[in-house]
Amino acid sequence: MTESHHFRVLEFYSGIGGMHYAFDESGHQGKILRAFDINTTANEVYAHNHGKKHLAQRNIEAVPMEYYDEQQADVWLMSPPCQPYTRTGNKAGSKDARAKSFLYLMDILPKMTHPPNYILLENVKGFEESDSRDFLVEALMGAGYEFQELLITPLQLGIPNSRMRYYCLARKTDNKPDEDAILSDPMLALKVEKLDKYIEFKDVADERMQRYMIPDKTLIKYGALFDIVKESTRRSCCFTKGYYHYVESTGSILQMAHEKDVRYGTEAPNADEYNAKALALLRTLGLRYFTENEVARLMGFPVLEGKFSFPEKTSLKQRYRVLGNSINVKVVSHLIRYLLTSKTENISEKKAEKEAGKDPEVRSESS
């Protein structure tokens, strides 16, 4: 029988608390020792839901290695800044100033007296091709970790949102899923929930909808670029920090008039006439942005349970930005459960073997 363990956790790049919620949902017992982030808005949201006690608004690289050693943390959870690796960013990798803190952690890891037994790292697809990933692998191998690297989308867990992310699971001692294949397979697609379960407001006449409706100027300029989904859809695009402010490649748009299927048709004789026709058609669809709570729910935050909310003073734009920088709680909770459960089982097995007079060899190698 697996022994229970009370894990000591350091949460790096804590944002709005995604890793905190993921650890809670993993079913493991533990304590968040410190949560590090320098984003004021994100820290306000974190404090609103988890309190200020463990928050540390400090540059990670400004904290001496001795401090991290003194914590004697079992687990490091981290989601470093993704801008150096994203396809819409500069792809400067480790040359980007925003990678400095991550490189610092990788530098001190092999030098620590009390390094963590487990590390979970999340980042955008693209990180696996960066030089930062090379630094990660070098640090893990140099410090005696075995590790697995994964590319996972929430669609594999039945969540109707595309958010392909790189994960590295490491413990002391390439699998890219095809999203289109998941949805084209009748049996697999049925396991993905429809979006209607995540929709907060369904009546276009609801006064609260006004701030989320797409303005006419945006409909005309970007209507052809929208990724439009309905309540019955089993997929939505990845929501980024630019959602609600920018249109292209920032997330899906919800069609409230789900029974309609409108096409532009043949182009009119002149641009003004064509634009007027297109606008009239688009208006009938009742197009709107997903609300911040709907996005949060798609990302696994416990909104309905009343365990996650935003401070009233957090602006709508800020809410979307911090969500876009966060993790999918549901996906990471499963990964934490897998990482820590398999390790504690191994610890129990080795303890039993040792008590039986065996001395199993302990090997550490990369996957």
Instruction: Give CA–CA dist 96/188, Å, rounded.
Output: 39
Q: Which member of 82, 168, 237, 238 is catalytic?
A: 82
pLDDT at 283: 87
* Same domain membership, residue 213 and residue 73: no
Angle among Cα 200, 181, 238 to the nearest 5 degrees reads 35
Distance in Å from the first CA to the final CA of the chain: 27
Look at residue 327 in the predicted model and tell me its pLDDT.
Answer: 97
Residue 361 within a domain: no
Is residue 174 scored above 70 in pLDDT?
no
Position with higher pLDDT, 344 vs 155:
155
Q: Are residues 148 and 277 in the same domain?
A: no
The whole-number pLDDT of residue 294 equals 98
144 and 280 part of one domain = no
Token digits of residue 62? 């400004």
Strand partners, 11: 35, 77
**pLDDT at 90 (0 to 100):** 63
The verdict on residue 363 lying in a domain is no
- Strand locations in 131-230, DSSP E? 145-152, 165-172, 228-229
Decide if 168 is catalytic. Answer: no
Percent of the chain surpassing pLDDT 70: 86
One-letter amino acid at 33 equals: L
In this structure, the answer to whether residues 147 and 179 fall within a common structural domain is yes
Q: Which of 296, 302, 330 is nearest to 316 (CA)?
A: 296
Contact 19, 326 (CB under 8 A): no
Torsion of CA 352, 353, 359, 365, to 10 degrees: -90
Query: What is the C-alpha separation between 354 and 292, in angstroms, rounded?
Result: 52
Q: Is residue 190 part of a domain?
A: no
Residues 41, 143 share a domain: yes
What residues contact 80, with CB distance under 8 A and at least 6 apart? Answer: 12, 13, 99, 101, 102, 121, 123, 132
Q: Which residue has the higher pLDDT, 366 or 182?
A: 182
CA geometry: angle at 218 spanning 91 and 278, to 5°?
Answer: 125
- Domain containing 86 — which CATH number? 3.40.50.150
Element (H, E) at 217: helix 216-222
Closest CA to 209 of 150, 176, 254: 254
- Report pLDDT for 89: 60
Residue 13 within a domain? yes
Whether residues 42 and 156 share a domain: the answer is yes
* CB crowding 306-345: b at 16 or more within 10 Å, else e: eebebeeebeeebbbbbbbbbbbbbbbbbbbbebbeebbe
Q: Are residues 173 and 38 in the same domain?
A: yes
State the pTM of this model: 0.81
Tokens of 40: 């004021």
How far is it, in rounded angstroms, from Cα 327 to Cα 333? Answer: 10
218 with 282, same domain?
A: yes
Residue whose pair of structure tokens reads 């999918």 in the numeric block? 328
Based on the fold, state whether residues 158 and 38 are members of the same structural domain.
yes
pLDDT in tens, 239-296: 999 999 988 889 999 999 877 765 544 444 566 666 788 888 888 899 999 999 999 9
174 and 212 in a single domain? The answer is no
What's CA 209's distance to the chain center, in Å? 26
Please give the average per-residue pLDDT across 124-146, as a whole number.
93
Same domain, 90 and 28: yes
Distances from the Cα of 174 to the Cα of 128, 177, 195, angstroms? 10, 9, 29
**Total domains in the fold of the chain:** 2
Range of the domain at 284: 195-233+253-289
Q: Which residue has the higher pLDDT, 195 or 350?
A: 195
